[in-house]
Amino acid sequence: MRHACARPLLALFLFGSAGSLIELLLLEHVDSATQWGPVVLLAAGSACATILIFRPEAALRRLWGGLMASYGIAGPVGVFLHLRGNREFEREIDAASAGLRLWKETLMGATPALAPAAMTLLGALGWLALREGPVERRP
């Protein structure tokens, strides 16, 4: 029964990853190298999950582990970049802004400050699928 959850976890990962990828493309999140990072990761993760569902080979599982580690790192990095961009924008609007008011405006800025954390959540979900072992083929 240990492997019974791998396929549904991969399907959930694929749903979240593909949905996030589509959203970033619709938002034209491709203006710089840092914006391309999550787009490439989401595309690679979606493709890898799709293949893993049908062909859970060892080499692909190792690649998957690396991708999931990258997802885990991308979340905090993205939150930092979004917060930094929002803070810079708020400081341009009101140079005297500081303290709690500046933090509130930074968190509520035009760029969704905490949205990149979804990458870390997806990475954790993908890691759980990896921990479940290879996807079993039904006879």
pLDDT at 2 over 60: no
pLDDT for the residue 4? 57
76 inside domain:
yes
65 inside domain:
yes
Domains in the chain, number = 1
126 inside domain:
yes
98 inside domain:
yes
Return the half-sphere exposure (C-beta side, CA atoms, 13 A cut-off) of residue 6: 22
Q: How far is CA 89 from CA 49, 84, 111, 130, in A?
A: 37, 9, 10, 40
88 inside domain:
yes
pLDDT at 55 over 70: yes
Q: How confident is the model at residue 1 (pLDDT cuts 50, 70, 90)?
A: very low
Please name the amino acid found at residue 106.
T
Q: How far is CA 6 from CA 11, 52, 138, in A?
A: 9, 10, 13
pLDDT (tens digit, 9 = 90+) per residue, 98-138?
A: 999 999 999 998 899 999 999 999 999 999 988 876 555 55
Q: How far is CA 49 from CA 13, 56, 106, 109, 115, in A?
A: 8, 9, 35, 33, 22
- Residue that has been written with the tokens 């759980």 in this structure: 128
139 inside domain:
no
Q: What is the average pLDDT score of the chain?
A: 90
Taking the C-alpha atoms of residue 139 and residue 137, their distance in angstroms, rounded to an integer, is 6
Tell me phi and psi for residue 114, to 5 degrees: -100, 0
Q: Which residues span the domain enclosing 113?
A: 2-131
